[in-house]
Amino acid sequence: MRILALVPGGIGDQILFFPTLADLKERYPEAMIDVLVEPRAKAAYRICTHVHEVLNFDFKDRNGPADYLNVLGTIRDREYDIAMSLGRNWAVGLLLWLNGIPTRLGYETSGSWFFTNSAPLNEDQYAAHLYHDLLKGLEINTLCPPLNVTVPNSDIQWAEGEQQRLGLTDGYILIHGGASALSQKKGIDKLYPLEQWGEIIKDIQSKQPNLPIVLLQGSEDAAWVTGLVEHFSDLKVTTPEDIGKSTAMIAGANLLVCTDSAPMHLSVAVGTYTVALFGATKMDKLLPPGSDKLIGVQSPTGRMADIQPKDVLSQIWRG
């Protein structure tokens, strides 16, 4: 059996979909499961063992007929038995119908004419649970398992070496405050002001002077890191080259303080104590319910800048 999952969105969306893939593999252990994702999200599958092949398609790009024909041919060549789509674009349903895939699964929406099976759409819940609900269309009614990742041994070894290089012998606090270029281009407010990060860092250093603070730098975070290091020269910086190494560094931290981002979901998956800052995005949709290790700080206005450092610090030092 071959199964295709169409998963639009970034790396965070893929991580939130991992529990669905795990249950799908549990139900069909012999199946080959492929995913069709945007190029920016392909890297997520370094830490997922349930997927056979990762295919690329830019769901949000202005695709022309030639683009759809190309992906149509790619899908047709693999002769899938089941296809499931997280997107709600009727064109995606048409694409799967044109391929003649016997079982086509999507959410119950006004654009679901081309699906053979449908699942209820409840957007007022944690996103991983929303994605997992799609399996109800295949009569898989299990509870959504927690986020889980599998980090390659080579990445764990790299993180151990990185911790030695940075002198992190007795624990560390990891901070990630960057925002993707795409979110900034779209005007999505995910950047917390440097001055307010500075207040948080200063307070941590005054209360825990022997606990190093490490900035987690992604490929688009250079300006954020530079701005903080200019004011706090004793900050340490780690720059993992892939998601596996980032996950291993997060797993080794005593605490991650971050904005709504892919590292937040990785921290959820590895069980690191997390304090996450949210602007307009509702934290109950991106943090799982019921955990006292995962703390969200929601802006009262929807603007990141209106989160007061004292409110973040109260969560860091609570208890």
Judgement on whether residues 178 and 105 belong to the same structural domain of the protein: no
pTM for the model stands at 0.93
Judgement on whether residues 162 and 301 belong to the same structural domain of the protein: yes
Judgement on whether residues 65 and 208 belong to the same structural domain of the protein: no
Judgement on whether residues 183 and 132 belong to the same structural domain of the protein: no
Domain end point (choices 115, 138, 161)? 138
Question: Residue written as tokens 């995962």?
Answer: 294
User: Is 109:88 a contact under the CB 8 Å cutoff?
Assistant: yes
The Cα angle at residue 311 between residues 307 and 316, in degrees rounded to 5? 125
Judgement on whether residues 109 and 250 belong to the same structural domain of the protein: no
Question: Residue written as tokens 């602007």?
Answer: 279
Domain end point (choices 96, 113, 138)? 138
Judgement on whether residues 165 and 73 belong to the same structural domain of the protein: no
Q: Which residues pair with 38 in a beta bridge?
A: none
Judgement on whether residues 93 and 230 belong to the same structural domain of the protein: no
Judgement on whether residues 128 and 157 belong to the same structural domain of the protein: no
Decide: helix, strand or coil at residue 315.
helix
Judgement on whether residues 188 and 101 belong to the same structural domain of the protein: no
User: Is 230:269 a contact under the CB 8 Å cutoff?
Assistant: no
Tokens of 162: 């990185």
Per-residue pLDDT of the chain in tens (319 residues, 90 and over written 9)? 999 999 999 999 999 999 999 999 999 999 999 999 999 999 999 999 999 999 998 876 666 666 667 778 888 889 999 999 998 777 777 788 888 899 999 999 756 788 999 999 999 999 999 999 999 999 999 999 999 999 999 999 999 999 999 999 999 999 999 765 555 565 567 899 999 999 999 999 999 999 999 999 998 899 999 999 999 999 999 999 999 999 999 999 999 999 999 999 999 999 999 999 999 999 999 999 988 899 999 999 999 999 999 999 999 998 6
**CATH classification of the domain holding 72:** 3.40.50.2000
User: Is 300:293 a contact under the CB 8 Å cutoff?
Assistant: no
User: Is 106:88 a contact under the CB 8 Å cutoff?
Assistant: yes
User: Which residue range(s) make up the domain with 122?
Assistant: 2-138
Q: How far apart are CA 23 and CA 79, in angstroms?
A: 22
Judgement on whether residues 162 and 309 belong to the same structural domain of the protein: yes
Phi, psi of 174 (to 5 degrees): -105, 135
User: Is 222:179 a contact under the CB 8 Å cutoff?
Assistant: no
Judgement on whether residues 185 and 65 belong to the same structural domain of the protein: no
Q: How far apart are CA 68 and CA 55, in angstroms?
A: 14
